[in-house]
Chains A and B, each alone.
Chain A
Amino acid sequence: MAKREISEINAGSMADIAFLLLIFFLVTTTMDTDTGLIRKLPPPPEDLTEPPPPIKQRNIFEILVNANDQLLVEGEYMQVTELREKAKEFIKSDVGNPNMPEFKEEQIDGLGLYPVSKQIISLQNDNGTSYDMYIKVQNELVAAYNELRNEFAQQKFGKTYQELTQQAAASETAEQQLDAVKKVYPQRISEAEPKKVGGTN
């Protein structure tokens, strides 16, 4: 019996098959990671047995947005671009100024007793406000907090706020510093239940 020689399998179309698979995966998958503004909603309202303690007017920074996407900040008409500075001024507060938020001494790890302003930002929007505008306002407020935190972190620890957040996972001191920065400028944005603030719908 003569041995029959086995001919080599033709692999010429292998590339075509691989290309086909490649194109299939290119079409059906996405690469984009989601990015956005991360927020925390307040827990569902419970039956209130006692009304919440009143908050002094000087501690509240009031923002109203109407259906025409116009801003009313502390009773003043304003553009979105001006909001950041105004919010920063308010969050930072001023010890001597009776119109600015009060301070409360708080125990913070790594800093000891530190005066933290009792600021609260109250945001109220109309049902007709555009989502675009809403995000702009939210973004400016977050930016105001981030800038203040950044300034504080650089002054106290010689690092930017961004560096701290990046290092927090790896180093314990950075984590503690980050916590301290967050406690000095806590993000307090309260969203009121929507009302008809005005303007045409």
Chain B
Amino acid sequence: MSKFRKKGKKSQPAVNTAALPDIVFMLLFFFMVTTTMRETTLKVENKIPFATEIEKLERKSLVSYIYIGKPIKELQPVFGTAPRIQLNDAFKTKEDIFQFVEMERDERDEAERNLITWSLKVDQKTEMGIVTDVKQELRKANALKINYSTKKTDKILN
């Protein structure tokens, strides 16, 4: 009956994990290439509306963002609930937009300065008053190519 005797205490060999770093590095490079750095921390509530007829913004380096909305909950005790404009990382007023436009232009190559798209990320509950003010300021600064940031949806509900 030696045939059925338990063969010693032979444990299974450990799984070879030598290739694991390679796999993870591959993932890492994938994410490094396909994503871009988060540039701003949002200080305003930003639930952007939906639309059906949207277009994709092609070159991310040529897009500057303007955020408009209510300050987030943590900041409401200090800044109140009236909608505000956020440029880069700080709350600004509409008078600062002109300067912001100039600064953003200076950061780009001369040939590309007129190709900048100004993306308005506006919370859907905001009233148009402040948005119109911003648009008028952009016009004054000759920043005419704008984009109303919206998400894709299939059907607009009334």
Contact = CB atoms under 8 A, between A and B. Distances in A.
Chain A: interface residue count, which band?
35 or more
Interface string A117-136: 00000000111111110111
A26 B31 contact: yes
Nearest to A141: B53
A81 B158 contact: yes
Contacts of A22: 24, 27-28, 31
A39 interface: yes
Contact of B122 (A67, A127, A131, A194): A131
A81 B52 CA distance: 13
Contacts of B124: 130-132, 135
A142 interface: yes
B147 A37 contact: yes
Nearest to B18: A11
* Residue among B51, B131, B158 facing the most chain A CB atoms (10 A cut-off): B51
B142 interface: yes
B129 interface: yes
B38 A80 contact: no
Contacts of B102: none
Interface in B46-97: 49, 51-57, 60, 63
Interface in B1-58: 17-18, 20-21, 24-25, 27-28, 31-32, 34-38, 49, 51-57
6 contacts: A29-B31, A29-B37, A34-B147, A36-B57, A135-B150, A138-B51
Interface of A: 11-12, 14-15, 17-19, 21-22, 25-26, 28-31, 33-45, 67, 79-81, 125-132, 134-136, 138-140, 142-143, 146, 194
